[in-house]
Amino acid sequence: MATVETNAAPIPEAKSFAPERPKMGVVFWTSVSWILLVIAAAVLADLLPLRDPDALGIRTGEIQRFESPGVNAWFGGDGQGRDLFAQIVHGARPAMVLSAAVTLIGGSLGVLIGVVAGYVRGRTDAVIMGIAEIMFAFPAIVLLFAVGAIWGITMAILIPVMAVLAVPSYARIVRGVTIAVAERDFVDAARAMGASQSRVVIKELLPLVALPAIAFGFLGFGLVIATEGALAFLGLGLEQRTWGSLIAGGQGLIREAPHLALIPATAMFLTIMAFNYVGDGVRELIDPRPIVVGRKRRADGPRPTTASASDALLSIRDLRTSFPTPGGVVTAVDGVSLDVRTGRTLGVVGESGSGKTMLLRSITGAFPVVGVQREGRVVVDGTDLLSASPASRSAMLGNEIGVISQNPLSALNPVRTVGSQLVEVMRVHRAISKAAARARAIELLEQVGIPRPGRRVDMYPHQLSGGMQQRVTIAIALANEPRLLLADEPTTALDVTIQDQILRLLASLGDEYNMAVVLVTHDLSVVRGWADDVAVMYGGQIVESGPTSAVFGDPQHRYTQALLESTPRLDLPIHSRLAAIEGQPPSLVAPPAGCRFADRCAGADERCRSEVPVLERLGSVEFRCWHPGQGEAR
Amino acid sequence: MKLLGRLIVRLVAVAIAVSLATFSLLSAAPGDPAAAKAGFAATPERVEEIRSELGLNDPFHVRYADWVTGVVQGDFGTSVLNEQPASKLIGDAMPHTVELMILAQVIALAVSIPAGIYSAQRPNGWFDRLTGAMSFGMLATPAFVLGIYLAFIFAVRLEWLPAVATDLPGPFDDPVENLRQLILPALTLAAGMIAIYVRLLRTDLIETLQQDFVLMAQSRGYSRRRVLWRHAFRPSAFSLLTAAGLATAGLLGGALIAETLFAVPGMGRLAVTAIFTEDYDVVMGVVLLLSLAFVIANFIVDALYAVLDPRVRHGNR
Ligand code: SF4
């Protein structure tokens, strides 16, 4: 696949939200304490000043039959007056021993196997993972049940069987981590420096793999406790007294003495929960999640909808688009105004992170991040999209406004046919029968230059080439004969040979449908070839705009000049064409006080750094620069 | 359709592996079925006679082949219980288990799909936090613990529902009573799945909602609902489908628990009873069928996946 330039360089990809889990902190430490308490109970049960768990209360007279929990017996007594509290404390031990043994044995075996599979890869890996998959395929409890039924349940049987059952889970996790780690440089370096394989594994890999394995170990520990309980519940418990056997014993008496089942069940629940919390907390150590961006807020109340004075179809006034990020509020579009008339094509050009893609998104209002706020006016054909009602905005989008995006494959729904996506856009916006819409879909496909449209209409996006896919998105954008077409880097993801065809197609369709077109690109030759007007963006602002020939012929702003000077011969790869200017684009969180280009500008002086350049006009060109036009014109 | 062929080959392979494992496990069992059958008073000669009658002296592979041949023809052997054919006992129990599992899946999906979708739309909103915490809790609750809680609350305290399903009518004979008796065991089974489904769907949807084609659908003026269901949910539904297939393993194990706890006359309870009466033909049959059910469930998921997801159908993934 062709590498796609992500335009939104300073925009954090807010993709990886953690599955919601309760916050670490108090709960985490409470869980740790609970686990320690249970361990203490398991170890010290014999030393604690408890009643004998086997002493029959009805005989000693200390505890009544089915005594309720209270001061005398904290957790009450069972049918023979045995102290439930003492039984629970003593019952902690077998499950803890079992879980510890299973977790240690199964865990270390799994880690070992996982590291080997992930490090060696190849056939060994395939065989190991194949076996693991078959083991996953067998319901563990059914197997344990069968084993238990035949040989009976003792520690000596349960520990090895459960340990073996636990191995695949550890192996799978560790294998994944190993593969990721093994591809990192330092492991490669160690390998290259001649460290023996086993040394690399032990010294470099194991420490990194340990934490995820330990995190899972806690979860696995809880799982073993639960499984032992389930077996005991089925009547296949260990011979020792465990929480599981207490629950199983109490379950039949749930009407007469509910505490007998409920209290040990709660003890078990709390313990498993605690292990899960701690495991989760440990995982959090390895896997810090991004600070989550705030909720999406609607822009403030409706503003008066006044059509712009000009006869422009698209008229943007003082647009500001900002959104919160962990590093502060990014103002990606900062006070942009522009007009595009029907029949004209405006090229918006700038580096990555100049705000050009966000400008386009600000028109449609579809953002990949949450919490975006827009201010200003975006008037299309007399309607201000920012203050319009959701209904009238929806009526414009996809109907009067068509959108084409950068990467055609990801812009098309992967699981629906080309035809259904075309039909959908027509049927959402107008009253048209399915059959008529389909006929028109085929017609449209033909119009955008797709051969054999009758067959392609029933294909899925991945069955088409990149160029074809882009033609499809164009067809979708044009389906309702829009008056405004927004195209975001429509050719970046495509082969060089296809790029020209697509641009030619866009130009001819623009004429045919008499649309206003906004063409966002970082490729100056695209602007030069296909745009009537150009707006140069830098740091979220338009620094220079006007008819393409005028701007390119006599650039005023230093940034435009630098761009044009660095304009490459066509033999350079596309992505490096704008990279030729030294330095970094300005911060959009805290932009420079004066001219945003000052840090990289050869002609910058004190004034440039402190005062924001005012908008000046020279003929048909507008620009913001204190020292304009002093570069070499081209 | 090459894909379907591959799936079938895998199905058969796993079926053979599972049946072999089950059979060898149970033939290694201590205890002498011939002696058990002959009764206390039998002479050693009589036991030996029965032994060869039952083919117990044959080599392992012959016995396995015999057993498989029988199973394929629907003969699972004979139960020690009144000499009934094992297949009859299993056949009587199976519909209850199947119904229970379907009910549990339906409950799980009906709860988790709306919950997951709602959570994903407002990540970290109050609802999302609540479902997150609840999923976490449900994952940590073993089925039998949850079952006991449910039985205590709904059957003992509130007395809304019966605590046992001993005289379970068929779903078509008396649907209301049938549901009343099965709802608690089904909930017990569903809880763990709900937790898994909600978390999965939420994470998946949040990711999908930020993808290009969803943004494009939004920028075509589609309603929220349309974007959500027609564009975002469908790809996420595939992950849910996979999870549902995998969850079948948990369901089968859970069926043992839930049926025992609520006395549902299904295969799980049958197996538990059979084990304590050393009724190995029945145990073997149930274990084999449960394992096969798991394999088949995943086979169906894979096949559905291939039919529903065009990317798999065309071998692009
Ligand atoms: S205003 Fe000053 S710093 Fe900015 S581009 Fe013009 S000359 Fe350079």
Q: How confident is the model at residue A4 (pLDDT cuts 50, 70, 90)?
A: very low
Mutate to test the interface with B, among A6, A7, A11, A138 (most CBs of B within 10 A): A138
Model confidence at A12: pLDDT above 50? no
Among the listed residues B240, B151, B239, B131, the one whose alpha carbon sits nearest the alpha carbon of residue B195: B131
> From atom 1 of ligand 1, which residue's Cα is the shortest distance away?
A625
CB contact under 8 A, A412 and B213: yes
- The pLDDT value recorded for residue B55 is 67
Give the closest residue to A563 by CA, choosing from A342, A392, A350: A350
Residues of chain A contacting residue B212, judged by C-beta atoms under 8 Å apart: 405-407, 410-411
User: Is residue A186 very low, low, confident or very high in pLDDT (cuts 50, 70, 90)?
Assistant: low
Query: What residues are paired with A377 via a beta bridge?
Result: A317
From A8's Cα to the closest Cα of chain B, the distance in A is 13
Q: Which residue has the tokens 């810090």?
A: A288
Closest CA of chain B from A388, distance in Å:
13
Inter-residue contact A75 to A223 (CB < 8 Å): no
Cβ under 8 Å to A: B residues 220-249: 220-223, 226, 230-231, 234-235, 238, 249
A289 pLDDT above the threshold of 70: no
Q: Are residues B234 and B284 in the same domain?
A: yes
Select the residue of A258, A268, A425 nearest B152 (Cβ to Cβ).
A258
Residue at B81: amino acid letter? L
Q: Which residue intervals of A234-258 are DSSP H helices? A: 243-251
Residues B298 and B225 in one domain: yes
Cα-to-centroid distance, A603 and ligand 1 (Å): 6
CB-closest option in B199, B216, B219 to A19: B199
User: Side chain identity at A399, as an amino acid letter?
Assistant: N
Q: Residue A404: closest CA among chain B residues belongs to which residue?
A: B216
Atom of ligand 1 nearest to the CA of A607: 2
Q: Ligand 1 mean position to A600 CA, how many Å?
A: 9
Higher per-residue confidence, B277 vs A549: A549
> Which candidate from A235, A265, A273 shows the least CB-CB separation from B137?
A273
Q: Which of A66-70, A451-455, B215-219 has the lowest mean pLDDT?
A: A66-70
- One domain, residues B59 and B106: no
What backbone phi and psi angles, to 5 degrees, belong to A595? Answer: -70, 135
Q: Which of A158, A127, A126 is nearest to A145 (CA)?
A: A158
Looking at residue A438, what is its pLDDT? 92
Q: Is the CB of A631 within 6 Å of ligand 1?
A: no
Q: Do the Cβ atoms of B217 and A413 come within 8 Å?
A: yes
- Region of A432 (left: φ > 0; alpha: ψ -120 to 50; beta: rest) is beta
Angstrom distance (rounded) from CA A272 to CA A285: 20
- Ligand 1 binding pocket includes A597 (Cβ within 6 Å): yes
Q: How far apart are CA B170 and CA A434, in angstroms?
A: 44
Query: Which of A375, A366, A350, A362 has its CA nearest to residue A314?
Result: A362
DSSP notation for A37-95: HHHHHHHHTTTSS---TT--HHHHSSS-TTPPSSSSSTT-B-TT--BHHHHHHHHHHHH
Q: Looking at the predicted structure, is the pLDDT value of residue A6 above 50? A: no
Centre of ligand 1 from the C-alpha of residue A359, in Å: 23
Question: How far does the CA of residue A275 sit from the closest CA of chain B (Å)?
Answer: 9
> CA–CA separation, A338 vs A356, rounded Å?
13
Torsion, Cα A362 A365 A370 A373, to 10 degrees, reads 60
Percentage of residues in chain A with pLDDT exceeding 90? 8
Residue B77 lies in a domain: no
- Residue A25 burial (C-beta neighbours within 10 Å; 0-12, 13-18, 19+): exposed
Cβ neighbours of residue A104 closer than 8 Å, sequence gap 6 or more: none
Q: Is A250 in contact with A264 (CB distance < 8 Å)?
A: yes
Q: Are residues B268 and B176 in the same domain?
A: yes
Residue with tokens 């394929």: B72
Confidence of residue B3 (pLDDT cuts 50, 70, 90): low
Cβ neighbours of residue B77 closer than 8 Å, sequence gap 6 or more: B67, B70, B85, B86, B281, B282, B284, B285
Q: Which residues of B touch A145 (CB under 8 A)?
A: 256, 271-272, 275, 287
Tens-place pLDDT, residues B79-103: 766 677 878 888 888 888 888 888 8
Shared domain check, B267 and B123: yes
At residue A25, what are phi and psi to the nearest 5 degrees? Answer: 125, -125
CATH number of the domain where residue B267 is located: 1.10.3720.10
| pLDDT the model gives residue A267 | 84
Q: Does B84 fall in a domain?
A: no
The residue nearest atom 5 of ligand 1, judged by CA position, is A558
Interface contacts (A, B; CB < 8 Å) = 232
A204, A191 Cβ separation under 8 angstroms: no
- Whole-number Cα distances in Å, A458 to A345, A408, A438, B229: 33, 17, 10, 21
Counting the structural domains of chain B, the total is: 2
Ligand 1 atom closest to A602 (CA): 8
Mutate: best of B101, B128, B144, B275, partner A, most A CBs <10 A: B144
Contact A166, A220 (CB under 8 A): yes
A603 within ligand 1 shell (Cβ under 6 A) = yes
Indicate if ligand 1 lies below 6 Å from the C-beta of A598: yes
- As a whole-number percent, the residues of chain B with pLDDT over 70 amount to 86
**Is B87 a domain residue?**
no
In a domain? residue B273: yes
- Nearest CA to A243 among A102, A101, A90? A90
The ipTM estimated for the assembled molecules is 0.77
User: Distance between CA A549 and CA A567 in Å, rounded?
Assistant: 15
Question: Computed over its alpha carbons, how large is the radius of gyration of chain A?
Answer: 34
pLDDT, residue B274, reads: 80
Per the prediction, chain A carries an average pLDDT of 78
Same-domain check for residues B114 and B251:
yes
Ligand 1 close to Cβ of residue A601 (< 6 A):
yes
Q: Which pLDDT tens digit goes with each residue over B100-126?
A: 888 888 998 899 888 888 888 777 778
| pTM listed for this prediction | 0.72
User: Are B212 and B125 within one domain?
Assistant: yes
Domain-embedded: residue B81:
no
Q: Chain B partners of A136 at a C-beta cutoff of 8 Å?
A: 249
Helix, strand, coil percent values for chain B (each to nearest 5): 75, 0, 20
SS3 B148: helix
Q: Which of B237, B233, B264, B292 is nearest to B93 (CA)?
A: B264
Q: Are the beta carbons of B226 and A428 separated by less than 8 Å?
A: yes
A576-600: per-residue pLDDT in tens?
444 457 777 888 888 888 888 888 8
**Residue B46 CA, distance from chain mean position:** 42
A626 lines ligand 1 (CB under 6 A): yes
Q: Which of A142, A218, A358, A417 should one mutate to test binding to chain B, selecting the residue with the greatest count of B CBs within 10 A?
A: A142
Distance CA A210, CA A202 (A): 11
pLDDT at A3: 35
**Residue B85 β-bridge partners:** B78
Question: Measuring from atom 3 of ligand 1, which residue has the nearest CA?
Answer: A598
Q: Is the CB of A608 under 6 A from ligand 1?
A: yes
CB-based burial of residue B236 (10 Å sphere; 0-12 exposed, 13-18 middle, 19+ buried)? buried
Q: How confident is the model at residue A291 (pLDDT cuts 50, 70, 90)?
A: very low
Evaluate whether residue B113 is within a structural domain: yes
Task: For A24-56, write each residue's pLDDT tens digit.
Answer: 577 788 888 888 888 888 787 777 766 676 666
Tell which atom from ligand 1 comes closest to the C-alpha of A626: 1
Contact A268 B283 (CB under 8 A): no
Residue B14: which of B288, B305, B308 has the closest Cα? B288
Of A15, A251, A370, Cβ closest to residue B148: A251
Residues B9 and B140 in one domain: no
Q: pLDDT digit string (tens) for A605-621?
A: 888 888 888 888 888 88
Which domain does B49 fall in, by range? 2-72
Show the DSSP H helices in A366-523 as ranges: 390-396, 408-411, 418-429, 434-447, 453-456, 466-478, 496-513
Distance A626 CA to ligand 1 centre (A): 6
pLDDT at A304 over 60: no
pLDDT attached to residue B81: 66
Residue A557 near ligand 1, beta carbon < 6 Å: yes
- B260 C-beta neighbours (distance < 10 Å), count: 24
Same domain, residue pair B54 and B118: no
Residue that the structure tokens 């089950």 belong to: B22
Would the CB of A323 count as within 6 Å of ligand 1?
no
* pLDDT on residue B313: 64
- Spell out the SS3 assignment of A118-174: HHHCHHHHHHHHHHHHHHHCCCHHHHHHHHHHHHCCCHHHHHHHHHHHHHHHHHHHH
Nearest CA to ligand 1 atom 6: A625
Residue B240 lies in a domain: yes
- Residue A538 CB less than 6 A away from ligand 1: no
Atom of ligand 1 nearest to the CA of A596: 4
Q: For ligand 1, is residue A586 a contact (CB within 6 Å)?
A: no
Domain match, B198 and B293 both: yes
**A518 pLDDT more than 90:** yes
User: How do strand A373-380 and strand A401-404 relate by DSSP bridges?
Assistant: unpaired
In this structure, the answer to whether residues B165 and B248 fall within a common structural domain is yes
Tokens of A227: 């499984």
B240 with B286, same domain: the answer is: yes
Facing A137 at nearest CB: one of B119, B203, B295:
B295
Q: What's the pLDDT tens digit per position in B265-306? A: 888 888 888 877 777 778 778 877 877 777 777 777 777 777
Q: Are B221 and A399 a contacting pair at CB < 8 A?
A: yes
B106 part of contact set with chain A, CB < 8 Å: no
Which of chain A's residues have a Cβ under 8 Å away from the Cβ of B208? Answer: none
- β partners of residue A317: A377
For residue A430, count CB atoms less than 10 angstroms from its CB and return exposed for 0-12, middle for 13-18, buried for 19 or more. exposed
Residue type, A402: G
- CB-CB under 8 Å, A254 with B151: yes
Whether residue B227 lies inside any domain: the answer is yes
Q: What is the mean pLDDT of residues A456-480?
A: 88
